């Protein structure tokens, strides 16, 4: 049976390094895993007043409906002001509501932070992990996936250097092991 893994990219920029890395990771999934990219840029900001029967924005409901059947989630995030982008935090909030009906619950997660900077989005990576603890998403701890200096590791078309690609393969392989242990 194919396992569906949601891919959520925190950067909304068309030529985002995070999007390119996410696509590289999707190519590395084994045959029995399928990448499913979820759009977060169209989600209205979370407002509990709208989370009532008959008022729920269609974008929220569509996102929740896409998220619910997924078996796991890969998050790719840049670092904005030592944290995650607002669109990514909003997606976490939308998917976690209404209270007691979180679409994230129990889904094994992977956090990858990507940056042209040397520290590879360390702050965003850890902020996101804090939220995932509360959302009850077991998250791969090792290897940690801080991808710094990305502009020197891939070309404009998203082709990744061989050594970096080997690192990506290691991360995906460890996630698959982690996922299989949790779902055994």
DSSP assignment string, 90-157: HHHHHHT-STT--SSTT--EEEEEE-SSTTTTHHHHHHHHHHHHHTT--B--SS-EEE-SGGGTB-TT
Distance CA 71, CA 5 (A): 6
Q: State residue 115's pLDDT score.
A: 93
Q: What is the pLDDT of residues 145-174, one digit of tens each?
A: 999 999 999 988 889 999 999 999 999 999
Of 20-24, 30-34, 47-51, 87-91, the range with the lowest mean pLDDT is 47-51
Q: What is the pLDDT of residues 84-120, one digit of tens each?
A: 999 999 999 999 998 899 999 999 999 999 999 888 8
pTM of the prediction? 0.96
């Amino acid at each position: 049976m194919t396992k569906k893994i949601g891919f959520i990219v925190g950067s909304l920029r068309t030529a985002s390094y995070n999007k390119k890395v996410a696509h590289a990771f999707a190519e590395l999934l084994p045959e029995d895993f399928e990448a499913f990219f979820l759009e977060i840029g169209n989600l209205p900001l979370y407002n509990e007043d709208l989370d009532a029967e008959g008022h729920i924005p269609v974008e929220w409901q569509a996102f929740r409906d896409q998220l619910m059947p997924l078996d796991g989630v890969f998050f790719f995030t840049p670092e904005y002001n030592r944290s995650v982008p607002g669109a990514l935090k909003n997606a976490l909030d939308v998917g976690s509501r209404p209270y007691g009906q979180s679409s994230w619950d129990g889904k094994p997660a992977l956090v990858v932070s990507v940056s042209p900077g040397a520290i590879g989005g360390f702050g965003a990576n850890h902020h996101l992990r804090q939220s995932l603890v509360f959302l009850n998403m077991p998250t791969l701890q090792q290897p940690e996936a801080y991808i710094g200096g990305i502009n020197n590791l891939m070309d404009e078309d998203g082709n990744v250097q061989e050594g970096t690609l080997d690192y990506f393969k290691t991360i995906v392989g460890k996630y698959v092991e982690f996922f299989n242990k949790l779902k055994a």
